[in-house]
Amino acid sequence: MESCLAAIRTATNNDDIVKIIYNAVESPDLYTFSEILAENAVKGLLNHPEFARFYHLLQLFAYGTYEQYLLEKEELPELTHAMILKLRQLTLVSMCVQHKQIPVKEAMNLLRLDSVLELQAIFIGAVYAGILQGKWNTEKETIEVQSWRSRDVQAEELNTMRLRLSRWIHYCSNAVEGLENIVTNAEKAIADAEANELKALNYFS
């Protein structure tokens, strides 16, 4: 990523920036792109109709899915085989957010695949790339997800995440308060029991 950002910052024209973006999208080592999208030189592509589609290509790989690519295909640069494979892998990662067990048929439909072997190859590639961990359950016809690497998050999604985090913190605070009350009551009960026991001993002594 650092070498990519450095290349963008030293690029002297939009043609060079486009080449860097194209290489980044195709690279087997890059799976997040928000830092590239944040570069002013990259944002500047939107001001030029002939280059804007490369900015949208970067957005697709940062946030989008293979299904979205098919809908916007005519407005994007042509994708290489490696790019299509990578986008399918990223789409599979996005499915992990919704499913801990991804139905094979649903994945094949979303990725527009005709063969289970194709999906298996995409899954295995994602595992070796380190963006997904899981196992293939032949009996249940599912991909059992264990973990995955998070994709880039759009600005509008951050508000939702903040709200969820705020609710979680509130829940934890209430839980801690409840536990503190339980501990306090337990300590009081123990103290009362010890006091009553002492009274009883004094009474019979």
Q: What pLDDT, on a 0 to 100 scale, did the predictor assign at position 200? A: 58
Integer CA distances (angstroms), 114 to 44, 89, 104, 148, in order: 40, 16, 12, 25
Cβ-proximal residues to 117 (8 Å cutoff; 6+ apart), any chain: none
Same domain, 115 and 169: no
Same domain, 124 and 177: no
Same domain, 82 and 166: no
Same domain, 94 and 192: no
Same domain, 111 and 177: no
Same domain, 68 and 53: yes
Residue at a domain's end among 132, 148, 164: 148
Q: What is the phi/psi pair of residue 136, to 5°?
A: -90, 120
Q: What pLDDT, on a 0 to 100 scale, did the predictor assign at position 116? A: 94
Q: For residue 129, give both structure tokens.
A: 């790339």
The answer to whether the beta carbons of residues 43 and 34 sit under 8 Å apart is no
Residue at a domain's end among 133, 148, 163: 148
Same domain, 13 and 94: yes
| Count of domains observed in the chain | 2
Same domain, 108 and 16: yes
Q: Give the range of the structural domain holding residue 181, as residue numbers without chain letter.
A: 154-204
Same domain, 64 and 140: yes
Q: What pLDDT, on a 0 to 100 scale, did the predictor assign at position 127? A: 94
Q: For residue 70, give both structure tokens.
A: 């098919």
Q: What pLDDT, on a 0 to 100 scale, did the predictor assign at position 199? A: 65
DSSP notation for 58-117: HHHHHH--HHHHHHHGGGSPPPPHHHHHHHHHHHHHHHHHH-SEEEHHHHHHHTT-S-HH
Same domain, 84 and 116: yes
> In the chain, what's the furthest Cα-to-Cα distance?
99
Q: What pLDDT, on a 0 to 100 scale, did the predictor assign at position 187? A: 75
Integer distance in angstroms from the first to the last C-alpha of the chain? 80
Same domain, 18 and 57: yes
Q: What pLDDT, on a 0 to 100 scale, did the predictor assign at position 82? A: 94
Q: CA-CA distance, 171 to 123, in Å (whole number)?
A: 36
Sites in the chain below the pLDDT cut of 50: 158, 160-162
The answer to whether the beta carbons of residues 9 and 44 sit under 8 Å apart is no
Q: What pLDDT, on a 0 to 100 scale, did the predictor assign at position 52? A: 93
Q: What pLDDT, on a 0 to 100 scale, did the predictor assign at position 192? A: 73
Q: For residue 101, give both structure tokens.
A: 């067990």
Same domain, 123 and 24: yes
